[in-house]
């Protein structure tokens, strides 16, 4: 597998993503844009991208804030996240810039693209889908489900998988119910998997280190949600690359 920095632009904002590819990738292959959590590109996102690349999916870990910015702490992460999502058009454009950068790479099949994300990245993947982006699949892992423009769910072209911690206090049952109601008013192929006992950040082994009760790793939810994503990819992309 190879991992390289990919420079790309969102208007005047210079972005630095991380592109991962399998060693023997040839021909048009499906590809995945991966949106990291609110802290920016970190070890968890890089690890997940590497696992996907090893399976044959070219995977770009997107830069959400510019110049590869990584928050120093949760306070800065919240500031960066809130600044981006305060403007829905800018938020969606930032996500679309990453998708376009990935789609423009040699060997990527532009008809077979997916977006996934973790926490704020999961919300970002869903916003990209709501913008009508040409995606075959979208997966949110413990992401927020509220949207500044919920009616835009009708624009979604992708099959949608939401992997949710049933005990997540940051994404309460009312928010999940609202999301399900919005999606039910569309023709989108969607599903929500709720993992009992799992809270926010359940896919990230580093979550426990934060010392925040709302965040914790859950091995079984991590494994099951990863397999659910791969099952969706098999469905929309065909056999593994």
Q: What is the pLDDT of residues 95-121, one digit of tens each?
A: 999 999 999 999 999 999 999 999 999
Q: In the prediction, which pLDDT does 27 show? A: 65
Overall fold of domain 2-237? Rossmann fold (3.40.50)
pLDDT at 238: 86
Question: Token pair for residue 17?
Answer: 């993503």
Q: Say what the pTM is.
A: 0.96
Domain definitions of the chain by residue range? 2-237
Q: Which residue, 171, 153, 151, 154, is CA-closest to 163?
A: 171
- Output the DSSP codes for the chain: -EEEEEEEEETTEEEEEEEEE-TT--SSEEEEEEE--TT-S-HHHHHHHHHHHHTT-EEEE--SSSTT---SSHHHHHHHHHHHHTSHHHHHHHHHHHHHHHHTSTTEEEEEEEEEEETHHHHHHHHHHHTT---SEEEEES-----SSGGGGGG--SEEEEEEETT-TTS-HHHHHHHHHHHHTS---EEEEEETT--BTTT-TTGGGG--TTB---HHHHHHHHHHHHHHHHHHH-S--
Average pLDDT of the chain, as a whole number = 95
Mean pLDDT within 197-204: 98
pLDDT-based confidence at residue 24 (cuts at 50, 70, 90): low
């Amino acid at each position: 597998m190879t991992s390289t920095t990919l420079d790309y632009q969102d208007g005047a904002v210079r972005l630095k993503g991380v592109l991962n590819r399998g060693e023997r990738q040839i021909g048009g292959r499906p590809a995945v844009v991966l949106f990291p959590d609110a802290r920016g590109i970190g070890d968890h996102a890089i690890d997940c991208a590497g696992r996907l690349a090893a399976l044959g999916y070219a995977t770009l870990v997107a830069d959400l804030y510019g110049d590869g910015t990584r928050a120093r702490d949760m306070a800065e992460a919240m500031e960066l996240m809130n600044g981006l999502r305060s403007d829905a058009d800018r938020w969606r454009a930032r996500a679309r810039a990453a998708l376009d950068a990935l789609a423009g790479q040699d060997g990527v099949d532009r008809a077979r693209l997916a977006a996934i994300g973790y926490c704020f990245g999961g919300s970002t993947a869903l916003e990209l889908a709501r913008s009508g982006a040409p995606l075959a699949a979208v997966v949110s892992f413990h992401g927020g489900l509220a949207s500044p423009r919920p009616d835009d769910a009708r624009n979604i072209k992708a099959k949608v998988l939401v992997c949710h911690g049933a005990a997540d206090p940051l994404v309460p049952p009312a928010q999940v119910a609202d999301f399900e109601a919005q999606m039910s008013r569309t023709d989108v192929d969607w599903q929500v998997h709720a993992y009992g006992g799992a809270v926010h950040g359940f896919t990230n082994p580093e979550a426990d280190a934060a010392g925040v009760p709302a965040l914790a790793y859950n091995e079984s939810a991590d494994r099951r949600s990863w397999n659910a994503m791969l099952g969706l990819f098999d469905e929309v992309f065909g056999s593994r690359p």
